[in-house]
Chains A and B, each alone.
Chain A
Amino acid sequence: MDASKKHETPPEAADRKEGMRLLARATLAELSAAWEAIPDKPEVAPVRGPETGLVMVRGRIGGGGDPFNLGEATVSRATVRLSTGEVGHGQLLGTDRERARYAAIFDALFQNDARRPAVEALQRLIAARLEAEDRQRAEETAATRVDFFTMVRGED
């Protein structure tokens, strides 16, 4: 098979991975409000970035075959270290480096047992918004589904 076979996510990392998925979709308003609400904020030191670059997005031939390079996308990323020692990574599509830095901070806070509940509250908020948006879009699409019916033929 192809060389770019996905790394298996270690089970203990599954929560963090899902958390990072949500943080990548957070709005700046959600992130800054959650950050403002955190008491005794730790010091945040930059390790890398925030910076903007490119990721080559891949597709698969025929949808499920071997990979090919479809085209690039802008990505912003940041890595930060908290004064409490945790290192966090933030990475998301687009050029918003401020959001990437916040995402890294919350990823770092997520690894601190005392801080984690506040991060999870933010992630639940993001998840609820995304679910509502996806639901709305799915319902709008569903309304455009074609209902075929058979014409009655005048045989009798």
Chain B
Amino acid sequence: MYVAVKGGEAAIANAHRLLADRRRGDRSLPSITVEQVVEQLGLAVDRVMAEASLYDRSLAALAVRQARGDMIEAIFILRAYRTTLPRFGYSEPVDTANMKVERRVSATYKDLPGGQLLGPTFDYTHRLLDPGLHGDAAVAAPAVKEPGEQVMRVSDILDGEGLIESDGEMPEGHVAGDLTREPMEFPMPRDLRLQALARGDEGFLLALAYSTQRGYGRTHPFVGEVRIGEVEVELDLPELGFAVSLGTIRVTECQMVNQFKGSATEPPQFTRGYGLVFGQSERKAMSMSLVDRALRTDEFSEDIVAPAQDQEFVISHADNVQATGFVEHLKLPHYVDFQAELDLVRRMRREYEAARAGGKDGIKEAAE
């Protein structure tokens, strides 16, 4: 029999004190500042913002520092923080066509208005460790050039010929759902799925996206374009009767162009998947767009044959805060549950032994 106990306060307090010590590390080294994390580990900050579903660079950097660089822990802390703040309202939808583009590449058109702008990319680096970064050598200022023409949307180029489906309309009168306000229900409309994917775990979405490429729900994708840059956030002020700008945020957008569909009434045309993510994260935006397309089985009458096409499976498991909560809770005390299981297995074992002993007797009797 297990008797409920309490205790551990001193151990917990000392464990947290030890955590603070280990977080600080070697005191002979300078302490890292939140500003340094924002500036020099910016993509870690971006990932935390995207998956915490809260855009605030300095709070995300604080979370990274507090979590000792554990991304999911940092995401958890930031997600928890947002629940302490009141909601002022919903912004006007951001206009990604008017993005101040810092990177834009297309895999479908070589020469397109605005051109291929590589921006600050890891692409075409050799992925060799740079010993120079052991030190603090001076870094050259970026090269500059006269900006060219306005960057045009690849989907608009294809749309001009009517060869691609439109951007994505919900049924008449549909009001965009909000996962942070209503519990999840399946089947889930596309707007809610996109909200869930935008804050979904990058690794999980990457694996699912990869699985569609390997044949588990193939969609024949091309990157129409990926673009990164700043967009303006506007909020409607009812007291003034117009929307005002609150500033800009950096986002990554991916327009995936997928193989065609047609029907008796619709001519064959390319279909699409869409990805939009806080910060600079094209891996995540691309994965999101592949999974978005894979999940649109109902719209294209596709059979659900692979995990990436199963919205309940994908959406229910994409959130790493939920996932880590449920997986990690297993390490917390389960002494009573386990005691019950232990009693049960002992009883079953006794019954088994008894049955075996009885069974042997039974067989012997039958043979005689």
A55 x B88 contact (CB < 8 A)? yes
Q: In the complex, are the beta carbons of A58 and B101 less than 8 A apart?
A: no
Closest Cβ–Cβ distance, residue B46 to chain A (whole Å): 12
Determine the distance from Cα of A7 to Cα of B244 in the docked complex, in whole angstroms: 10
Contacts of A2 in B (CB 8 A): 170, 174-176
B274 touches A136 (CB 8 A): no
In the bound complex, how far is the Cα of B247 from the Cα of A56, in angstroms? Answer: 14
| Complex Cα spacing A37 to B180, Å | 45
Could you tell me the distance between the alpha carbons of A21 and B240 in the complex, rounded to whole angstroms?
A: 14
Q: Digit string of B114-131 for contact with A (CB within 8 Å is 1, else 0)?
A: 011111110000000000
What residues of chain B lie closer than 8 Å to A136, measured between beta carbons? 144
Instruction: Identify which of A27-35, A38-46, A61-69 touches chain B.
Output: A61-69
**Residue interface bits B311-355, CB-to-A below 8 A is 1, else 0:** 000000000000000000000000000000000000000000000
Does B115 contact A67, Cβ atoms closer than 8 Å?
Answer: no
CB contact list, B178-194 vs A, under 8 A: 178-180, 190-192, 194
Whether B82 and A54, one on each chain, are in contact in the complex, defined by CB atoms closer than 8 angstroms, is yes
Contact with B along A92-127 (1 / 0, CB 8 A): 111100000000000000000000000000000000
**Chain-A contact segment, one of B10-18, B36-44, B161-169, B302-310:** B161-169
Instruction: Determine if B255 and A63 form an interchain contact, defined as CB atoms under 8 angstroms apart.
Output: yes
* Contacts between the two chains (Cβ within 8 Å), count: 252
Inter-chain contacts of B286 with A (CB < 8 A): none
Closest CB in chain A relative to B204 CB, distance in Å: 17
A137 at the B interface (CB under 8 A)? yes
CB-CB nearest in chain A for B81: A74
In the complex, what's the smallest C-beta–C-beta distance from B286 to chain A, in angstroms? 15
* CA gap between A69 and B195 in the complex, in Å: 6
- A16: chain B residues at CB < 8 Å are 240
Contacts known (A75-B88, A136-B144); A67 close to B244, Cβ less than 8 A: no
Number of interface residues of A (CB under 8 A): 60
B274 lies within 8 A of A141 (CB): no
Contact of B247 among A94, A143, A144, A148 (CB under 8 A): A94
Instruction: Decide if A143 touches B142 in the complex (CB within 8 Å).
Output: yes
Chain B contact residue count (CB 8 A cutoff)? 86
Set A3, A74, A141: member contacting B85, Cβ < 8 A: A74
Q: Which residues of A contact B249 (CB under 8 A)?
A: 57, 73, 93
In the bound complex, residues from chain A placing their C-beta under 8 Å from that of B97 are: 63-64
Q: Assess whether B297 is interfacial by the CB under 8 Å rule.
A: no
| B92 engages A6 (CB within 8 Å) | yes
Decide: B246 and A141 in contact? CB cutoff 8 A.
no
> Which one of A4, A63, A92, A140 has the highest number of Cβ atoms from chain B below 10 Å of its Cβ?
A63
- Inter-subunit contact B90/A4 (CB<8 Å): yes
Report Cα–Cα, A62/B239, bound state, in Å: 32
Q: Is A129 an interface residue (CB 8 A)?
A: no
A53 at the interface (CB under 8 A from B): yes
B242 within 8 A of A: yes
Closest beta carbon of chain A to B39's beta carbon, Å: 15
Per-residue A-contact encoding for B256-276, CB less than 8 Å = 1, 0 else = 000000000000000010101
Q: Are B103 and A141 in contact (CB under 8 A)?
A: yes
What mask results when residues 1 to 33 of chain A are scored 1 for a CB within 8 Å of chain B, else 0? Answer: 011101111100100110011001100000000
Leading 10 A-B pairs by shortest Cβ distance: A62-B167, A61-B168, A65-B168, A65-B167, A68-B191, A139-B144, A93-B247, A73-B55, A71-B53, A21-B245
B interface list, Cβ under 8 A from A: 49-50, 53-56, 58-59, 82, 85-94, 96-97, 100-103, 110-111, 115-121, 142-148, 153, 155, 166-170, 174-180, 190-192, 194-195, 198-199, 232-237, 239-249, 251, 253, 255, 272, 274, 276, 278
Give 18 pairs: A residue, B residue, CB < 8 Å, sorted on A. A2-B170, A10-B242, A24-B244, A53-B85, A55-B90, A58-B90, A59-B194, A62-B167, A65-B169, A69-B178, A70-B278, A71-B54, A93-B249, A139-B144, A139-B147, A145-B115, A145-B118, A146-B118
